[in-house]
Structure 1
Amino acid sequence: MADRGGEWVLGVLGGSGVYEIDGLEKREWRRVDTPWGLPSDDLLFGEIEGVKVVFLPRHGRGHRLTPSGVNGRANIDALKRAGATDVLSLSAVGSLKEDLPPGTFVIVDQYVDRTFARPKSFFDEGLVAHVSVADPVCARLAGLAAEAARAAGAPVVEGGTYLAMEGPQFSTRAESELYRAWGCSVIGMTNMPEAKLAREAELPYASVCMVTDYDCWHAEHGPVEVSHVIEVLLANAAKARDLVGRLARGLKGPRTAVPADTALEHAVITPPHARDPELARKLDVVAGRVLNR
């Protein structure tokens, strides 16, 4: 693993429509095995003007995996195992606000997690930890992503709450109106528990949410149609790939620490003598900084 206090290594989780990254040099797809199973796909290693980038298509190339079928633990473990110091998420979302039309890039900073069929933690019986996710997004990485998105020509809104639903079906109108009443900005199916797992792995995380539709609440727009979503998604994806290149090129100079780098410092509750050795072994990469000292 890279020294996360020194060299930048940008991990990228590409969502719907983002299955490749433009401008990568020294490209190499590699399989990365993890104790949590296989990640969504092989990882694409490369460099952009000397900055290391590790890319993982969240749904697999060809979009083979449903949101519930994405192995979030394996994906996050694989990125850290590959040396990533920071993780940027790119994902398609529906808008829950009038002033967030299709084509907008929302850099969210909060989440409401309504998923229910996915493992949400690396920790379990035999090795317990409670990690704070009060502020689940890394402000530094989010700010850099916003700058890169604007430079790529996308309309950008910084801040907002992402409602994570289980899927794979889209919302009912009643659900959509409920989430709007809660003050949520966008709705999607993939950022949770991904953001929580990244925090447990001490990986700073930020999410660029690319609006494709108005969900189903808007009186002047019909229910979500996949054909229309794909049309907007493809336009967004081109800007997203440009965004990644611009972000990577901006990561010059040494990387300094941020709070997420030490999220586990006081989180592990189970004392060493009582820990499940098999679970501790599985956590060696995710939590080795605190478990192996």
Structure 2
Amino acid sequence: MDILKGISLGSIICINDSIMRVAKNIKLFGPDMILMVPMMIESFAKKLEDAAQLPPEIVKKEVFGDRLHTICSGGAYLNPAWITLFERYGITILQGYGMTECAPVISTNLEWNKKEGSVGKLMPNCAAKVVEEEIWVKGSSVMQGYYHMQKETEETLTKDGWLRTGDLGYVDEDGFVFLTGRKKNLIITKNGENVSPEEIENKLSKHRLVQEVLVRESEGAIEAEIFPDTDYAEKHQISDIKASLQEIIDAYNKEAPAYKKVVKLNVREKEFEKTAARKIKRY
């Protein structure tokens, strides 16, 4: 879809050949616009933070070239702080939301019509409603069903055409979509409270020492498993990484309601296993 849209507008399409060569290829191609997943945006954001003392125009030219003005993102949570950071360098990040079953865009932020923290305004052909915290969508781009998969189709589509996205969130009065997590990942506490692990992960991952984090239920309590940024720890002379991570969790717990408090901490020595889309495998 993105390639065809670009061609229809007369754009030159440059395809990155490896995640290991993103920075090199940006310098090579000198793009005006980039499609980038949040993980890559975070990687560049850390570089920008480390170069915060240098003039923004020099840093931008060195990292992104002279022409880049827009990054389109989707597929996972994006820390709103990164959007603000990139604005300092004259780069606008526009986050959207979609899924293959919707061909694929459901909502998107536009440069002249956006809201902080949202994944954009519903497309004109899409309607949405929230059923038991889950977002359902309906419209001309919603699929008719999965090919030769009747059971899965019935589980996903209602008889009147609503698609159960599996995503938790809400739609505000202006039609902007806000996501809070995935329905299948919900943690049900002993008291019957629903906890979205993504909500906690997003708050903990705002700290530079936290490179990757996975929150889950463990023996009736909420556990955070963290892969720390050892380069950051070395640069800032953090010798006791576990103690520093515990301080981050303690600070979060002070503001969190009792049923959302993180009780256990597990520090990883290796990165989490990822899916092809570079998302952490939960199961």
TM-score, L = length of structure 1 = 0.22
| Higher normalized contact order (CA 8 Å, seq sep 6+, divided by chain length) | 1
Greater strand fraction, Structure 1 or Structure 2 = 2
Larger radius of gyration: 2
